[in-house]
Amino acid sequence: MPSKKFNTLVIKIGSSSLTDPQGKLDLKNLRRIASEIAELIQQGKKVILVTSGAIVAGSEKLGITKPKTIPEKQAAAAVGQARLMRQYEKAFEEFTLPVAQILLTRDAIADRERYLNARNCLTTLLKEMVVPIVNENDTVAVEEIKIGDNDNLAALTASLIGADLLIILTDVDGFYMKNEEGIPYLVPEIKKITEEVKEAAGHPSTQLGTGGMITKIQAAEICMDAGIYMAIINGRNPGLISKVLEGEKVGTIFIPKTTKLEARKRWLAHGLKKEGTIIVDPGAESALIKHGKSLLPVGILKVKGKFPAGALVSIADEDEKEFARGLTNYSSDELLPLIGKKGAGEVIHRDNLVIL
């Protein structure tokens, strides 16, 4: 992996990398990471930072040990976001680099116009040598518009901007699996997210964050589908970011599919929430994958879920394994009577469809 490949980077700093053993904001590590990022920018790299830690920073200020209710978390995030930004501003000021705060929610990515606005804003900031610092807008986010964790937010940001590499800084050395004796070992490289990999990731469980290894694997899936490399490295060890860029074997590297999806396809694949599933026969599957055709009702076997016209739906084979996503021209109610019929209009036009 030559370093010239990686010109636009997204670096995600997890709560564990920003928190000391007492559960307080670790300013020393924050400043150290900022200095490494500043060095990359001075080398001509474009870097977007996705940061956790707002709730931790706010809880410390408010004297709350661990906020439990949504209002408590939102209050802590509101206080912590300002505190966190002030520390980043001070850290990057030493290198005469201005910072900008970008707060996102799922609807900013799901809405095409807002998605383009966010991308244009980030592109302009990078051109002006500003460090964009992205976080989810926890103070207003409700379940319907929550992304939910900063691993997925970082991957969606990387996809949005068309980054070359996403680096996730965490409190472990990379992704671990177990051998036949049950002994954990570090996996240096992953080219495909298999069921075995998902199983090894387990369930979200971290004292300070909202993710865990499973959300990092979800982030890797987004990146790999979009043609973006991803690395998981230890956020406590100095110099690892540069080592990843130099092609050294540190942490775990996720190798993407060979081609980058063009911007609209990336948005279709991961910017929207799926609202249903259309199961198709082998003929329709072949027409979509091999011949780049639109989806017609004649090839549909089954429709699952209730969705409106214009919704993003999953397209699956006879075994219900997803292989594509697209924007449907019909609601689920309109589609049901058309299943298997010839002569009806396109269900999903090929320009609104992405093969995964």
Domain tally for the chain? 2
Q: Do 285 and 333 sit in the same domain of this protein?
A: yes
Instruction: Say yes or no: 59 and 85 in one domain.
Output: yes
Residues 245, 281, single domain; the answer is no
pLDDT in tens, 331-354: 999 999 999 998 888 999 888 898
The string over 144-179, giving b where at least 16 C-beta atoms fall within 10 Å of a residue's C-beta and e elsewhere, is ebbbbbbbbbbbbbbbbbbbbbbbbbbebbbbeeee
Q: Quick one: 167 and 298 in the same domain?
A: no
Residue whose C-alpha is closest to residue 309's, from 274, 335, 279: 335
Q: Are residues 30 and 129 in the same domain?
A: yes
> What share of the chain has pLDDT > 70, as a percent?
90
Give the CATH number of the domain where residue 155 resides: 3.40.1160.10
Calculate the dihedral angle through the C-alpha atoms of 314, 316, 321, 327, rounding to the nearest 10 degrees: -20
Tokens of 151: 């691993």
Give the CB-side neighbour count of residue 243, counting CA atoms within 13 A: 15
* Same domain flag for 256 and 327: no
pTM of the model: 0.76
Q: Please say which residue of 212, 247, 265 terminates a domain.
A: 265
Task: Tell which of 220, 235, 265 closes a domain.
Answer: 265
210 and 119 both lie in a single domain: yes
Taking residues 316-323, report their average pLDDT.
94
Location of structure tokens 């939910």: 148
What is the average pLDDT value for the chain, to the nearest integer?
A: 86
pLDDT at 334: 93
Q: Of residues 41 and 112, which shows the higher confidence score?
A: 41
- The answer, yes or no, to whether residue 37 has pLDDT greater than 70, is yes
| Order of all β-strands in the sheet with 300-304 | 300-304, 277-280, 312-316, 322-327, 353-355
| pLDDT tops 80 at residue 262 | no
CA nearest to 133, candidates 76, 91, 172, 96 = 91
Least confident of 36-45, 204-213, 322-331: 204-213
- Structural domain boundaries, residue 34: 3-265
Structure tokens at 354: 């992405």
Same domain assignment for residues 256 and 288: no
User: Of 130 and 149, which is predicted with more confidence?
Assistant: 130
Is residue 255 domain-shared with residue 344, that is, in the same domain?
no
Same domain, 114 and 205: yes
In this structure, the answer to whether residues 95 and 156 fall within a common structural domain is yes
Question: Residue 173 CA to chain centroid, in angstroms?
Answer: 20
Name the least confident of 93-97, 129-133, 219-223, 278-282. Answer: 219-223
The larger pLDDT score, comparing residue 143 to residue 253, is at 253
Q: Which amino acid is at 256?
A: P
Cα(254)–Cα(38) distance, integer angstroms: 25
For 178, the token pair is 């177990």
Same-domain pairing of 253 and 290: no
Mean pLDDT of 105-128: 82
**Mean pLDDT computed over 87-96:** 96
The answer to whether the CB of 249 falls within 8 A of the CB of 225 is: no
Best CA proximity match to 11, nearest among 92, 75, 83: 92
pLDDT of residue 138: 66
Query: Which residue, 12, 298, 19, is CA-closest to 134?
Result: 12
**CATH value at residue 286:** 2.30.130.10
Domain boundary, last residue among 218, 237, 265? 265
Identify the pLDDT of residue 140: 61
